[in-house]
Amino acid sequence: MGNHTGPSRPSVSRRELCIAAGAAGISALAGCSTGNTNSSRAGNATTITDHSSPDLEKWVDEVPRPSVAEPSGTKDGRPRYEIAMGEVEQKLHRDLPATTVWGYDGQFPGPTIEAEQGEPIYVRWTNDLPDEHLLPEDTTIHSDLIPYDTPGVRTVTHLHGGNVESESDGHAQAWFTRDFQETGPEFEKKDYYYVNDQPPATLWYHDHSLGITRLNVYAGLAGFYLLRSDHERSLGLPEGEYEIPLVLQDRSFERDGSLFYPTAISDEKGGSDESHPDPSIVPQFYGDTSVVNGKAWPRLSVEPRSYRFRLLNGSNSRYYSLQFRRYDESPGETDGDGPSFVQVGNDGGLLSTPVEIGDRLELGAGQRADVVVDFSESAGETLLLHNDAPAQYRGKTGLGDDDIVPLPEIMLVDVNEAGDSQDATELPDELTRVPDISIDSVDNERYLTLNGGATDDYSRQLYLLGTAEEPDGLKIDAPVTEEPALGDTEIWSFANRSGMSHPMHLHLVHFQMVGRQSIGDYDPDEDELDLEALEAPKPYERGWNDVITVDPGEIVHVIVHFGGHDGLFNDQTGTYMWHCHMLEHEDHDMMRPFTVLPNDGRGADSDDVDDSTTQR
Ligand code: C2O
Ligand code: CU
């Protein structure tokens, strides 16, 4: 290794066939996205194109179920967990040597935290990681804000989707190293407090350390946090062994089992640009191997009955657009549609009614879908969880074509001929009441821009978030520009001026999507928001969201209330982050703070804040 003048690649025709298959959304082709075992490097810097993961036999391992975290004691009468981040060896595939990963509590993905609405918990996240990062750090990223020469790995855990006090939110600069030896400027406390005063929902936790989130999460630092309630249990949704959290991720491997993460950007011809630092951040990352709950190309065996899946897109950049397809394993071909998803919840909790997703279910990075799938008509069949999202999705990325690796095959499902249990699942017509945030209550509107036009000091494309006044974008350390007061209701209008889709995320709050329209049809200085002119949310965009996809050339308007709402959520003030959830974008530089100010009584609707009614 080391003396190649150019990357060696799998057969171009096979690769292009695979890319074409993904882009056209046609059935999975056998052998696509496995590449060959010929992983070679040009120098030290390796692009996605340079690398192919070992050709692993698919569907040989069963999908693991993450374990459930146990509290280690109590604090102020509440359960207190202590969860350590550490480096472990884990078998991710039968034929792959054990992979060094970073796990919470020694596991990738981390153990699931089971929480109950109305019952707060404390979690002390501790850092037992080695001194050196598992993956190459690009020290040019936020080099003025990050002490790269300080020993130890910086970590901080964010509860994604949690209505959490700001000191416990996992601010990107609230990082800490092993044994809290070094801490970032926003670090405030060791025991994080999660009040759990929000609708029951599929939340997740993951690392959020400034400038290295993409690497820490890729190394394995993520897990589920399921918030439940009596009302939700009364709905008769599949439970126990019939409720399965599934985190979908993409990874690439070396033949020795180690994780591969690119260290150079390819240009269209597959070489890397001389002017870039080595290692360099990449504009996005697309792995060539599907990993579900920490197993590569796994299979799940189910009974012919209904299951509840908590789907999470835990990938760095990749979009998923999912459907079950009937699958014939020997030719490795799909034929016909499998059972459909009936969505019962999204990011922020239950939808008001179950929604049958006739077509595909889309998940951007960080998004969740709570779905029920009825396998009773599929007894004896094999099904493929199929993804037809081409990696670049809608629009264009800053990557060379060869770096855009589609991933059509996610997981196989074997439906047994018969089950051991009677399936009594009958979904109620009404799941919960999702209160509408009324447009009439809006105190303020913000026009926020998503930009891909800037470059950094190394002529790398820089993604930036901006405002109406600074439309070309601001860096993370520019003064806070979004400062709602507690009790305010706002419209945030995300205008995507870049060439690709971005999954936009707000900490703390859940918003409701109002609608989308073309960027040219709305000028905040001239136009009133015209509800009639908007394209309605997609079925899976209803209800409470904390991530929303904004396609190139469009504006997505969301309505958000800061503070308690209809007996839900909790009054929090302080500084939080909003950002693109493609982790490579978040790190380079598509993240900004927002601050919820205390209500100074200047007329915001403090009377919406009503803790006397408890909503289910
Ligand atoms: Cu899941 Cu700030 O992110
Ligand atoms: Cu983005």
Name, in order, each residue with C-beta under 8 angstroms of 409's C-beta and a sequence gap of 6 or more.
Answer: 28, 32, 33, 58, 290, 297, 384, 385, 386, 387
DSSP type of residue 318 = -
User: First and final CA of the chain: distance in angstroms?
Assistant: 60
* Ligand 1 near 296 CB (within 6 A): no
Interval between CA 210 and ligand 1 midpoint (Å): 11
pLDDT in tens, 168-194: 999 999 999 999 999 999 999 999 999
Please state, for a pLDDT cut of 90, what percent of the chain lies above it.
79
Residue 220 corresponds to which tokens in the numbers above? 């394995």
Asked if the model's pLDDT at residue 381 lies above 60, the reply is yes
Asked if the model's pLDDT at residue 38 lies above 70, the reply is no
Residue 35 pLDDT class (50, 70, 90 cuts):
very low
Instruction: Return the CATH fold of 241-415.
Output: Immunoglobulin-like (2.60.40)
Average pLDDT in the chain: 89
* Ligand 1 near 579 CB (within 6 A): yes
pLDDT in tens, 301-320: 999 999 999 999 999 999 99
Instruction: Give the mean model confidence (pLDDT) for residues 87-114.
Output: 98
Q: Which ligand is nearest to the CA of 221?
A: 1
* Ligand 1 near 366 CB (within 6 A): yes
**Calpha distance 242→37 (Å, rounded):** 37
Q: Nearest Cα to 228, choosing from 437, 370, 422, 429?
A: 370
Contact 146, 161 (CB under 8 A): no
Of ligand 1's listed atoms, the one at least distance from the Cα of 579 is 2
84-93, 343-352, 522-531, range with the lowest pLDDT? 522-531
pTM (predicted TM-score): 0.90
- For residue 255, the SS3 value is coil
Instruction: Output the pLDDT for position 15.
Output: 33
**Calpha distance 251→291 (Å, rounded):** 7
- For residue 517, the SS3 value is strand
Instruction: Give the mean model confidence (pLDDT) for residues 527-550.
Output: 94
Given the structure tokens 């000091």, which residue do they identify? 457
Interval between CA 170 and ligand 1 midpoint (Å): 9
Interval between CA 154 and ligand 2 midpoint (Å): 23
Residue 125 corresponds to which tokens in the numbers above? 């996240």
3-22+433-596 is a CATH 3.40.50.1100 domain: no
Instruction: Output the pLDDT for position 37.
Output: 29
- Report the run of H or E that residue 593 belongs to, with start and end: strand 591-596
Interval between CA 504 and ligand 2 midpoint (Å): 7
**Calpha distance 383→309 (Å, rounded):** 15
Q: Which ligand is nearest to the CA of 161?
A: 1
* Ligand 1 near 592 CB (within 6 A): no
* Ligand 1 near 160 CB (within 6 A): yes
* Ligand 1 near 505 CB (within 6 A): yes
Name, in order, each residue with C-beta under 8 angstroms of 77's C-beta and a sequence gap of 6 or more.
Answer: none
Question: What is the CATH number that goes with domain 39-230?
Answer: 2.60.40.420
Q: Which ligand is nearest to the CA of 314?
A: 1
* Ligand 1 near 507 CB (within 6 A): yes
Instruction: Output the pLDDT for position 273.
Output: 65
Of ligand 1's listed atoms, the one at least distance from the Cα of 578 is 2
pLDDT in tens, 474-496: 999 999 999 999 999 999 999 99
Interval between CA 337 and ligand 1 midpoint (Å): 33
Atom 1 (ligand 1) nearest CA: 160
Q: Which ligand is nearest to the CA of 169?
A: 1
Interval between CA 362 and ligand 1 midpoint (Å): 18
Instruction: Give the mean model confidence (pLDDT) for residues 378-401.
Output: 82
**Calpha distance 75→244 (Å, rounded):** 30
Q: Which ligand is nearest to the CA of 210?
A: 1
Interval between CA 161 and ligand 1 midpoint (Å): 8
* Ligand 1 near 585 CB (within 6 A): no
Of ligand 1's listed atoms, the one at least distance from the Cα of 366 is 1
Of ligand 1's listed atoms, the one at least distance from the Cα of 507 is 2
pLDDT in tens, 557-574: 999 999 998 889 999 999
**Calpha distance 365→344 (Å, rounded):** 19
Q: Nearest Cα to 443, choosing from 608, 615, 197?
A: 608
Whether the ω angle into residue 130 lies within 30 degrees of 0, i.e. cis, is no
Interval between CA 382 and ligand 1 midpoint (Å): 35
pLDDT in tens, 125-166: 999 999 999 999 999 999 999 999 999 999 999 999 999 999
Interval between CA 310 and ligand 1 midpoint (Å): 18
Residues of CATH 2.60.40.420 domain(s) within the chain? Answer: 3-22+433-596, 39-230, 241-415
Asked if the model's pLDDT at residue 614 lies above 80, the reply is no
DSSP 171-190: -TT--B-GGG-SB-TT---S
Please state, for a pLDDT cut of 70, what percent of the chain lies above it.
87
Interval between CA 21 and ligand 1 midpoint (Å): 31
Atom 3 (ligand 1) nearest CA: 160
Largest pairwise CA distance in the chain:
70
* Ligand 1 near 208 CB (within 6 A): yes
Q: Which ligand is nearest to the CA of 496?
A: 2
